[in-house]
Amino acid sequence: MRRYKKTIIGSSLLLIILLMSCLYPLYGPADFNQKVLIHDENGRVIDRAPFPPSEEHWLGTTRNGEDVHWVLLYGVKFTLIAAFSVAVLRVIFGGIVGIIISLWAPFLKRYFKDFFLTMRYIPSILIAIILMIPIKFPDDVAISSIVTYQLIILVFIGFPSVTVFAADITDELLKTSFVQSSYLMGAGNFHIIKRQLLPYMRSYGILFTVQQILSTLQIIMQLSIFELFLGGANRAGIFGYDDPYGRPKLASMSYEWAGLIGQNFTEFTQMPWIVFAPLLGFFVLILIINMIKKELENNILGVQLMKTKRKRKKEKPLPAAQTHTGKFDFLHD
Amino acid sequence: MKRLLSALFRSALVLSGFLFIFNLPLILGIGVDSVEIHFDQFWEVVKNNLQFLFQIKDDMYLSLFKQLDITGSYQYTMSILLISLTGIILIAMVTMVLIMIAPEKIRIYLKNGVNFFEAVPDLLIIFLFQFFVISLYKATGFKFLRLYGVFGVKPYFIPIITVSFLPLFLLLQFLIQVITEEQNQLYVLYVKAKGIGRLRTLLIHMIRNILPLIVLQLRTVIWVLLSNIYLVEHMFNINGFTKQFVIIIYQGGDFASLVACLLMLSLPLLVIEAAGWLVSKRIKGTEAVSL
């Protein structure tokens, strides 16, 4: 039978993290316990940020003296919301276009694939970088427009593959006997969508969304290595960072996890906690989502397996005993 | 004639798709507080790009491309790709055989272990390797593993291992899955009934039968390898092919250079796809004969 135990546990975990992050202003310190210098009793400076993990600072502090665990808790909502909304938009647009292509214009599928052929041969990270360059040097624009631009690009990158997938699956479903007989009895395309495809679309839609969340998380993280942060970059740079060439190092404006990884990835020789804390957090997020994905995949595939098993049972050959044609049978042998 | 026309039409589509994708930022201008859409500017640039592509006699043509150290860096990147690919195939095959002949209980654990790596993000692996090498250096004071590509040095060992770590598990997972399905085939049962040993069946019969599938799967492996190489070369500051690519993007290289670079980068994918096409054609051919 279908079981959704892991899905329920995983999504409630994600929801709890999201809620905690959204409600952060209610309970967390607004300045993330910022403390750059430590003085002794006489008022002399004995140490300066960043501090390594300790009892006081659970995951250490950033160069700016902010507690890493508070920063992470504050920033995770942007990561989750962005990944989720990008995935949902990809699946909605891709799914609709895919179904339209498959039902009304099957000849278009070839041309659609040709048009987006580039995306099949160039790793998506390269395309994403080329398309994201305008946001690296913005001239005083609102964050909302930067974020909108980024979301559009992220949705666009995943759109062709989702569309082709959706069209393929719809093609497969159209070949099944129940859809064929529905057509024979005079059903129109809309009726087919409503009655026959919708139940499948729900399960496949959820599975696609989860897969797309994973790929979005990956690409956000890879983009951040190239200083293309979700939510724009803070041009003042990281506090107290000395570049040998005197350039300010761009910092993520939103404290979003991928951005935290990207802005600090050069620092891990001296302060590994600043990079490894968000990186491991990201890993945990991906693990949870992957767990959900596995279970959903098993459910969809498992149902098909069960059906074939049932069929096989019916096709069992008749027991040999019935084929006796002799005049008498031995009852006990 | 009809075929020629359709081929022309399709290549025109590919070209227009390419132009559309790479000029998308021009349609979506970032306004002060909203994203603006302007098509006229987009159209102008697209026309310019097209003209530029066909103006081969111009002196400016591929000017930046000629200045860069293309051949050396391309050789380096492609040799990393090739070495990792051969390494991955060999190690994955050997490990697969070892896992398949392991006792049942251990096999399940091993399979779960392989499946675990599916979720690991590539950046985590790169960071861990970097961290490992540097702490090794700190502990021993020996610099026997080169990590960064400063002063024109091109390290091989660590980049290759870092790049091929995750694709190895990807291929291994695929191999295990395919061979487990292959075990349900009738011929395996038949061979077993004839009294031929498990190892012999696996090595001689089953691997030969799944070879075409492996060739088809190699496309994904190369794809992952390419994007991993890109990340690693950026993070280790190695002067590889992708570095030239970044220079072309950021220093406003002309459109033709970009096209040339992208074509060179996707060459391995094209090669493996051609191989996959040949193999699948051959399978279909033999199936038709056997029917």
Q: How far apart are CA B145 and CA B155, in angstroms?
A: 8
Shortest Cα distance from A138 to chain B (angstroms)?
8
The β-bridge relationship of strands B35-37 and A45-48 is unpaired
Of A130, A138, A225, the CB nearest to B30: A138
Task: Specify the residue for token string 């991955």.
Answer: B88
Q: At what angle do helices B267-290 and B255-265 cross, to 10 degrees?
A: 40
> Per the structure block, which two tokens stand in for A286?
């991906």
Q: Which residues lie across from A252 on neighbouring strands?
A: A233
On the question of pLDDT at B291 being above 50, the answer is no
Per-residue pLDDT band at B290 (split at 50, 70, 90): very low
> Per the structure block, which two tokens stand in for A95?
């799914």
Domain boundaries, chain B: 2-54, 65-290
- Please give the residue of chain B at the shortest CA–CA distance from A272: B131
Q: Which residues lie across from B30 on neighbouring strands?
A: B35
Domains located in chain A, CATH noted = 5-304 (1.10.3720)
Give the pLDDT confidence score for residue B117 in this predicted structure. 86
On the question of pLDDT at B279 being above 90, the answer is no
Q: Which of A145, A112, A150 is nearest to A131 (CA)?
A: A150
Q: Which of A62, A249, A273, A129 is nearest to B234 (CA)?
A: A129
Q: Which of B17, B265, B38, B221 is nearest to A160 (CA)?
A: B17
Q: How far apart are CA B159 and CA B77, in angstroms?
A: 10
What separation, in Å, do the N-terminal and C-terminal C-alpha atoms of chain A show? 42
Overall CATH class of domain B65-290: mainly alpha
On the question of pLDDT at B86 being above 90, the answer is yes
Of the two residues A142 and B196, the one the predictor is more confident about is: B196
Of the two residues B66 and B12, the one the predictor is more confident about is: B12
**DSSP notation for B17-30:** HHHHHHTHHHHEEE
- Judge: A114–B14 Cβ closer than 8 Å, yes or no: yes
Give the pLDDT confidence score for residue A145 in this predicted structure. 82
Q: How far apart are CA B160 and CA B212, in angstroms?
A: 26
* Residues with Cβ within 8 Å of residue A126, at least 6 apart in sequence: B227, B230, B245, B262, B265
> Per the structure block, which two tokens stand in for A261?
């990884």
- Judge: A265–B20 Cβ closer than 8 Å, yes or no: no
Mean pLDDT within B204-226: 88
Give the pLDDT confidence score for residue B112 in this predicted structure. 87
Between vectors from CA A50 to CA A48 and to CA A53, what angle results, nearest 5°? 120
DSSP 8-state secondary structure symbol assigned to residue B184: T
Shortest Cα distance from A112 to chain B (angstroms)?
9
Q: How many CB pairs under 8 A join A and B?
A: 126
Per-10-residue mean pLDDT of chain A, 333 residues long, equals 82 94 86 75 73 76 81 90 95 94 90 89 87 73 83 92 93 91 90 88 90 92 87 68 61 83 79 85 92 88 59 51 56 62
Where does residue B136 rank: exposed (0-12), middle (13-18), buried (19+ CB within 10 A)?
middle
Enumerate residues 97 to 156 of chain A having a beta carbon within 8 A of any beta carbon in chain B: 110-111, 114-119, 121-127, 129-131, 133-135, 138, 140-142, 144-146, 148-149, 152-153, 156
CB contacts, 8 Å: B234 with chain A: 225-226
Per-residue pLDDT band at B151 (split at 50, 70, 90): low
- Judge: B10–A140 Cβ closer than 8 Å, yes or no: no
Per-residue pLDDT band at B185 (split at 50, 70, 90): confident
Q: How far apart are CA B227 and CA B218, in angstroms?
A: 14
User: What is the ipTM, given to two decimal places?
Assistant: 0.83
Question: What is the residue type of A294?
Answer: K
User: Which span out of A90-94, A327-331, B66-70, B182-186 was modeled with the highest average pLDDT?
Assistant: A90-94
Task: Specify the residue for token string 């039902």.
Answer: A103
CB contacts, 8 Å: B265 with chain A: 122, 126
Shortest Cα distance from A326 to chain B (angstroms)?
34
> Per the structure block, which two tokens stand in for A274?
């600043």
Per-residue pLDDT band at B146 (split at 50, 70, 90): low
